[in-house]
């Protein structure tokens, strides 16, 4: 892949990733629906949640989250993007300001390059423990 194409793809993936957080901040299910691939293979792990698989279960979780009263503001830091031929992933720290206080989440977002553009196929968010490691970190 030449550098110009690589840079173009990275810009597309960066925009798709920002659109995900924008949809979240706006509490917009229609925007969130546009970002995801609507397929059986999609996976979503909200921080602390069990694994959700398939668009139906994932969409339902967003319907409930975005339909709820809470609104989050995401300050994204430490972003990095990797692009292969038809897959890309973004890792980023989600620094959240919520009514309950500050929270930092480590997020992995995997996008597939489809005829309709980059679509989210995996979102995995996990709370970062304040001291940087979990009680069981040495076992894992």
Q: Between residues 4 and 138, which has the closer beta carbon with respect to a second copy?
A: 138
Q: Does 28 bind a second copy (CB under 8 A)?
A: no
Window 71 to 100, contacts with a second copy (CB under 8 A)? 71-72, 78, 80, 82, 84-87, 89, 91-94, 96, 98-100
List Cα–Cα distances, 14 to 10, 49, 77, 119, in angstroms.
6, 26, 13, 12
Q: Does 46 bind a second copy (CB under 8 A)?
A: yes
Count of residues interacting with a second copy (CB under 8 A): 55
Q: Between residues 28 and 108, which has the closer beta carbon with respect to a second copy?
A: 108
């Amino acid at each position: 892949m030449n550098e110009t194409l690589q840079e173009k793809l990275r810009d597309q993936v960066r925009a798709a990733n920002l659109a995900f957080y924008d949809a979240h901040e706006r509490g917009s299910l229609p925007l969130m629906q546009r970002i995801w691939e609507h397929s059986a293979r999609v996976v979503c792990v909200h921080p602390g949640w069990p694994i959700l698989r398939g668009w139906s279960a994932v969409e339902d979780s967003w319907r409930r989250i975005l339909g709820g009263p809470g609104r989050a503001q995401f300050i994204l830091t430490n972003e990095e993007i990797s692009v292969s031929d038809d897959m890309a992933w973004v890792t980023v720290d989600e620094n959240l300001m919520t009514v309950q206080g500050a929270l930092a989440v480590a997020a992995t977002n995997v996008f597939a390059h489809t005829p309709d553009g980059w679509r989210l196929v995996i979102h995995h968010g996990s709370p970062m423990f304040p001291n940087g490691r979990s009680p069981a970190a040495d076992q894992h």
